[in-house]
Structure formats: C-alpha cells, structure tokens
Chain A
Amino acid sequence: MSDSYTVGDERENEQDGAAADRADGRNVSTPDPVDETTGETTPSIQHIADADTVIEAADLTVHYGDVEALKPVNVRLPAQEVTAIIGPSGCGKSTFLRCINRMNDMVDAARVGGELRFRGKNVYDEDVDPVALRRKIGMVFQKPNPFPKSIYDNVAYGLEIQGYDGDMDARVEEALRGAALWDEVKDQLDESGLDLSGGQQQRLCIARAIAPDPEVILMDEPASALDPVATAKVEDLIDELAEEYTVVIVTHNMQQAARISDKTAVFLTGGQLVEFGETNRIFENPENQRVEDYITGKFG
C-alpha cells in the first residue's frame, strides 16, 4: 500500500517542474499540443486520510485494444461523500467509473492494468467475483433503464437475486422513499416502470440500485437525459444519498459537479486524471492550468 503512496508523493514532488512547463506553455502564444501533454503528466492529487478511503486506484490503466483509454490513475475516493468526476467527452471518466465495479469486463477488448482497491481489496484479483463486487457497488446509468416489469419488481429485483428473504415490501418502500419516489408511485406499484416519466424512471433506477443496500453508488451522467426540473430532483436526491452511501458521479456538467459534490476529479483528454481535490478548491483555485482553462470554458 505504501508503495503506491510513495509513487503518488513522487509525482507531487514533480509539481514544480510541471509548473515550470506550464509557465513556458503560457508564454508561447501557440502552445504545441505535444509539449502540453508531456508537460502535464503530473496530476495534482490531494490525498485523504487512510481511514476514509473506500476506493483507491493505484496505477490503474485501461486499454481498448491498442488504444490507451486511461493513463495510470492514482487516487483515493472518500467514504460517505459525493465525488464528482468531470472532464470533456472521451476523456476516460466513464471508463474509470466502470472500472470500479468491473462493468468493463463486458467489453471484450478492454484490458485493465494496475490495481483498483475497494476497502483494501484489489477488485481485479483472481478470487474476486465481479458479481459479488457489484452487489456492494451499485450503479445508475446515463439513460434511465428500468426493466419492462412493474415498479415493485424493478426495485425488488436486486434483492431477489441476492437471496433476500426478509420483508420485501418494507425494503421496496424504504428504497423508493430513499429515492424520493414513494409518494409519487405508492398507489401504482404494479404498473410498468416504463410508464413513468423520464425523471421518475431515473429515480426508480436509483431506488433499484439502493434497495440491496450497497456501500457505493456509481452514477454515470445520471441526469444528462433529463429535463431541468427532473435534474434538480435527482440532484437533491444525490445530496441525501451521501448521508448513507459513498457516491461517485460522472458528469459533463460542471455546474452540477460544483453543486452536488464534496470532492472533484478532473480528467482531461487522453484518459489522464489531472487534478483531484476539494470541489470548492478545484473550482475556485485549480492548481493545473489546463484544469483552469477547462473550468473557465477556454478548453474542452
């Protein structure tokens, strides 16, 4: 464990060199893109205390065939907080998210290198069953994807396959309340989940994800397919979820990240994690020039 920590420290120590490069880059009116990428191999990662770490990436890389989708990522995500992952499209933020619960396993060409630890256990170890992993790490997807079943069955599905034999009705209600959907659907639990509006469908998917009581919830741009009113509801919900769960959310919407997250990780083109830290600091005072450009809209 301390190995990777040292690696991270070394990288932080290189910060000065990077800053120098950056200064050079700013002085040249037409920055050479190659220079810029080589100059930025040093992420500004703010580390958190061990005890709070739920998810830790250590030199995590992903290749799709010959394409490097994720450059070595070293980061620790804190418990019971909302971590936002932002960056331009194609920057690898969704790829990173899908590494956490091994959804990338389903992409035949994807190869993962390095380690991703969930509560200290590398999830890419031989003895890890991705199914067991996903029972601890729930996921909500970009587009609402309820099953063509009743609302009740949608929420109960995860509990059923995980062999839950307690009071199913109570758990379904609890999950629907947790997703702030109960009041809207309590009289139509037998109706199809597909009959709900887009925003309700997404909250149903959140209910489905939290029903089996996972430790972490991953969200892949959960509001990108929703209208502003529905988006606001989902955002409020994410805020509440953080009291109980660790939430990692990918979004391309920087305002959204600023509103809902405690920590923010910025990925930039090339699958590189460039900066990670307190959301307020990242948005007000980013260390990295490219992050500043991205956040102020000059780039991406």
Chain B
Amino acid sequence: MTRLPFGLGGTDDGRDGDGDGDGVRTDSLRTGSVRTDGGETPNPFANVGDDIARKQLLGRVFVGICGASTLVGIVALFVLLGDVLYEAWGWVTLDFLTYPPSRFIENYYPDGRGAGIYPALVGSILLIALTAVFTMFLGVGAAIYLEEYAPESRLKSFIEANIANLAGVPSIVYGLLGLAVFVRFVGLGESLLAGALTLTLLILPIVIVSAQEALRAVPDSQRHAAYGVGATDWEVVRDVVLPAALPGIMTGTILSLSRAIGETAPLIMIGAATSMFRAPIEDVSGIPVPDLFGPFAAMPMQIFDWARLPEGDFQHVAAAGIVVLLTILLLMNATAILIRNKYEK
C-alpha cells in the first residue's frame, strides 16, 4: 500500500494502515515548509477554504459508512452463531450424539429416554469420506492434466471455462443430475453411494481449481531439475510435483469437502431420507462395514427435518444439530489450516 503522502488533513484518520508512514512524511514536509517560511508567514499548504473542509467532512462520513458496513457482515456472523448457540444451550448432550432421532420431543429432554443425531452423524461422516476419496482422485487427476500435460490449446481453455461455469451451477441442479443419472439410470437408488457421487460432481470444480493453484505453486525449477536428469512427464509429476503440491491439494480438498458436508438440496433431490433411525452400517461377520447401497440420512437433512416440525422445542433440537454440524465443519477447517501452516514456508 503505497499512497501519496499528501496528508491534506484528516482524511488519514488513523484507520489507514499506512497512516504511520504518511504521518511521518507529512510531518517532515510541514516542518520543512515551516523552516523556510521562518514561522511568521502563514503556511501556504494549510487547509484553507470551505471546499476542502467540506470534502474532508464528507470523507469522514464516507469512511464511517464503509467501516460500519464492514461491521454489518461481522456482526451478522456473530449474531448468527450466538443465536444457534443460545437455542442449542443444554440440548447438545452425549445422548444427543449417540441416539437415533425421535418424533417425540420428550425423548430429547436431558432426562428423557434419549434421542439424537447419531444415524445422521455417521451418515454424514461416511458420505464425506466417500466423497473425499472420489474427489481426490478425479479432482487431482483433472488438475494434473490441465497444469502438467495439456498444451495451451482451445481444448484446455474450453475445459477451464467449463469448470468455471460448473462452479456456478446451483447445487440443487446437481441434485437433479444425481437423481436422473445415479439414482435412476445407474440404478443405485437413494443410497450412500449415489449421494457421495452427486456431491463429488458438485465440489469437483472447486477441488480442481484449488488443486491447479497448488500445482502452479510448485516452482518450475523443480520440474526442470527432474527433466534435466531424464525424467518422463509422469516421473516428474509423481516424484517432484505431487509431493510438493500435496499439502496445498489437501488443504483445498478439505475446504471443498467442508462445503459438501453442509449441502442439503442435492441430497433432497436424490431422495435421501430426511430422517433415519439406523446408521448406514451393516455387520459383515461381526465387523461393521459401511452400507454403500443402502438408504442413509445426513446431518443437514436431519436438521431440515427438525426445523420444519411445528412443535416449538424442536427448534432447540435443530439448533443442537446445527452445533454438531458446525463443530465438524470447524474441525475440518482447522485441519486444513493446520496442514497449510505446517507446510507453508
């Protein structure tokens, strides 16, 4: 931020980050002029006339408005989080995490029989784990093709423009795609696998773009070093580019997944259950195995279900569900930031 040091009075009202620098340079300018003027003659650079004063007032009002606007978003965030926490206070219990949902609000009370989010929690975690596996392979593969293999061609720009457009397609439309292709055409039904594949297509554009950025951050000198000793394209990617880009790719993928975990609309469209009493896990000779082809519930669906129930206290249950969802989201983001900080120079 380099700005001309024409302080011209109060426009630099301390909010400005380079206020220090400006201040010093403005001061020296003034002392300079004072010395040459001998102190008696009026400072020719003083703010004279109503015009400048009026403008400065306007400027101060303007900064006030802009600063206040910045606060609007921040305040809204904290009010939103505060509201959720307030509504959920006392409702997030161990039972809430370990019991299936119930139609009767009494069961959710701390002294009730126990009811909660367990099947949806497990469903969401499995859903995201599956989505992670798919997006890692497909997203990184596509990014590697675009960054490391594709020549600068019409095809490459077409694919990249297409990805940019896909990122702007509403998530509910991906739900229709999943419904028509995975649920009906492929015949997966309203299953965990169909849900994961739908979410994969949904976040693939973001994963690809972030993976491309991570690959682009690998210095060319590294690639050249490997090419220089006679490595093939694939050897360069495998031995040099991928290891260096992996932290960035992980960070971007986890952040994209944290978007997927809150997605509700696509799951509604593929006909996922709003509420399930059983987690999508089967017992195969004593070992719990995710049931890829069975029905499942996910946390946002369950929250949606609770939020629509007319009984007033279900608002608290919905809020409790949101707290669990946001906690998982927070954990994912924290992991992503940790990875980034650990590997950032």
Contacts and interface: CB of A to CB of B under 8 A. Distances in A.
A162 B223 CA distance: 17
Given A147-B240, A148-B243, A157-B239, A205 B225 contact: yes
B2 interface: no
Contacts of B232: 131, 161
Secondary structure of the B contact surface, majority rule? helix
Nearest to A217: B228
A134 B244 contact: no
A103 B224 CA distance: 8
A143 interface: yes
A258 to B, nearest CB: 27
B28 interface: no
Contact of B226 (A108, A143, A148, A157): A157
B307 to A, nearest CB: 49
Contact of A131 (B219, B222, B231, B240): B231
Given A148-B244, A157-B239, A161-B239, A134 B230 contact: yes
Contact of A208 (B225, B227, B239): B225
Contacts of A212: 229-230
B151 A209 contact: no
B221 A143 contact: yes
B228 A131 contact: no
A141 B229 contact: no
B178 to A, nearest CB: 37
A132 B231 CA distance: 9
A135 interface: yes
Contacts of A161: 229-232, 235, 239
Interface in B228-266: 228-232, 235, 239-240, 243-244
A211 B222 CA distance: 18
B244 A106 contact: no
Nearest to A129: B232
Contacts of A108: 151-152
A212 B226 CA distance: 12
Nearest to B224: A141
Given A108-B151, A147-B240, A148-B243, A103 B227 contact: yes
Nearest to B229: A158
A199 interface: no
B222 A208 contact: no
Interface string A117-154: 00000000000000110110011110101111000000
Interface residues of B, number: 20
Nearest to B220: A106
A162 B230 contact: yes
Nearest to A135: B230
Contacts of A138: 228-229
Contacts of A208: 225, 229
Nearest to B238: A161
A245 to B, nearest CB: 14
Given A108-B151, A148-B243, A157-B226, A141 B231 contact: no
B229 A145 contact: no
Contacts of A157: 226, 229, 231, 239
A59 B106 CA distance: 89
A208 B240 CA distance: 15
Contacts of A103: 224, 227-228
A106 B227 contact: yes
Contacts of A162: 229-230
Interface in B192-240: 219, 221-232, 235, 239-240
B122 to A, nearest CB: 39
A145 to B, nearest CB: 4
A143 B219 CA distance: 12
B56 to A, nearest CB: 49
Contact of B229 (A132, A134, A148): A134
A42 interface: no
A101 interface: yes
Contacts of B230: 131-132, 134-135, 158, 161-162, 212
A106 B147 CA distance: 12
Given A134-B230, A158-B229, A158-B230, A139 B243 contact: no
Interface centre among B152, B239, B243, B244 (most CB of A within 10 A): B239
A145 B221 contact: yes
A144 to B, nearest CB: 9
A147 B229 CA distance: 12
A211 B228 CA distance: 12
Interface string B64-77: 00000000000000
Interface in A70-126: 101, 103, 106, 108-109
Given A139-B229, A145-B221, A161-B230, 17 more contacts: A101-B228, A108-B151, A134-B228, A134-B229, A140-B228, A141-B221, A141-B224, A141-B225, A145-B224, A145-B225, A147-B226, A147-B240, A148-B243, A157-B231, A161-B231, A205-B225, A211-B229
Closest 8 CB pairs of A and B: A158-B229, A135-B230, A139-B228, A145-B221, A134-B230, A145-B225, A108-B152, A131-B232
Interface of B: 151-152, 219, 221-232, 235, 239-240, 243-244
14 contacts: A101-B228, A103-B227, A131-B230, A134-B228, A134-B229, A134-B230, A143-B221, A145-B221, A145-B225, A147-B222, A158-B230, A158-B231, A208-B225, A211-B229
